[in-house]
Amino acid sequence: MRPVVQFVCAVIALLPGWLHAQESANDCGVESIVLGIAQDAGIPQIGNPADPAWAHPEQRRLATSLALVDRDQGKRYLFEATPDLREQLQRLDQLAPIEGGGLGIDGVFLTHAHIGHYAGLIFLGHESAGARSVPVYAMPRMREFLVANGPWDQLVRYQNILLRPLEDATVTSLSDVLSVTPYRVPHRDEYSETVGFSIRGPERSVLFIPDVDSWDRWLSEFDRSIKAMIETHDVAYLDATFYDDHELGGRDMSAIPHPRIAAAMDRFDALAPADRAKVRFIHLNHSNPARYADSSERAQISERGYRVAEEGERVCLGN
């Protein structure tokens, strides 16, 4: 098959999931939409020329991001500003279009200051969109980092973004029926603290924790139980950077303390089947075999009652 034909076929293979997602919007008043499921650097990653995703675009994945669409208020929010922001906003425009011009971003919620989670803010700046007064919700150290360091401070000075405060376990109300609550989690906090988000709509709720070092440390250091959080939400998008400790040959993976999918499933197996079904693994590294739909690891995840998040999947939070 000629290269051009191969590329066209691969692109067509991408379409059904996104088209299905677009068709499934129905009349949901408030919904979340997954815009990316990969670790910060995306899939495939730089410096990995043998990755099959270079030749097969349908295997490519964007950095982890979630959108929140409030049709009742005519507003859209992003959770994370990733390096893939341009493509993610284009996808969001297809799935949940807005009327009129502009970016249609009514707020950006940031978890922390690692590149896959905030670097996309640069596209709101002078050299790109030249946005005006986009609210950016951030924790205290994250706000200080943006104000004190270039080029991010220019976004603040030019009022491309307006910083909005977040505080641990404190509710931010977006409407009478929609709220966001940050919860600090243990992680590498070189430049900022790290949080996950509880998003509560009129009828359903979503938990979004793309980065955490350890569920045990979350309990011991912050007195928060991941099992209890899963039980009190309808869907839980959880850090699944690595499947186990064997996927980075020659490296000491103890120095990269993300929860492993295999260990997480062992922990969560104590949950009721209905609660296990809430878990969506997200933030997959390019080395994670669970990225492949036909892998034995993906089969294990499914057999045990869990899921890997899919780009374009939607959760209706109510009307």
Predicted confidence (pLDDT) at residue 21 exceeds the cutoff of 50:
no
Q: What is the pLDDT of residues 22-81, one digit of tens each?
A: 444 558 999 999 999 999 999 999 999 999 999 999 999 999 999 999 999 999 999 999
Tokens found for residue 212? 């955490």
Q: How far is 278 from 270, CA to CA, in rounded Å?
A: 14
In the prediction, which pLDDT does 25 show?
54
| 3-class secondary-structure state, position 87 | helix
Residue range 142-167: average pLDDT?
98
The answer to whether 81 touches 120, Cβ cutoff 8 Å, is: yes
Closest by Cα among 267, 239, 299, 275 to 117: 239
Q: What is the pLDDT of residues 92-127, one digit of tens each?
A: 999 999 887 789 999 999 999 999 999 999 999 999
Higher pLDDT, 108 or 247: 108
In the prediction, which pLDDT does 22 show?
41
Predicted confidence (pLDDT) at residue 3 exceeds the cutoff of 80:
no
Q: What is the pLDDT of residues 186-245, one digit of tens each?
A: 999 999 999 999 999 999 999 999 999 999 999 999 999 999 999 999 999 999 999 998
Over the chain, what is the mean pLDDT? 92
In the prediction, which pLDDT does 78 show?
98
Q: How far is 234 from 18, CA to CA, in rounded Å?
A: 23
* Chain position carrying tokens 């675009």: 57
Fold topology of 3-55+62-318: Metallo-beta-lactamase; Chain A (3.60.15)
* Predicted confidence band of residue 13 (pLDDT cuts 50, 70, 90): very low
Q: What is the 3-state secondary structure (H, E, C) of the chain?
A: CCHHHHHHHHHHHHHHHHHHHHHCCCCCCEEEEEEECECCCCECCCCCCCCHHHCCHHHCECECEEEEEECCCCEEEEECCCCCHHHHHHHHHHHCCCCCCCCCCCCEECCCCCHHHHHHHHHHCCCCCCCCCEEEEECHHHHHHHHHCCCHHHHHHCCCEEEEECCCCCCEEEECCEEEEEEECCCCCCCCCCEEEEEECCCCEEEEECCCCCHHHHHHHHCCCHHHHHHCCCEEEEECCECCCCCCCCCCHHHCCCCEHHHHHHHHCCCCHHHHCCEEEECECCCCHHHCCCCHHHHHHHHCCCEECCCCCEEEEEC
Q: Where are the domains of the chain?
A: 3-55+62-318
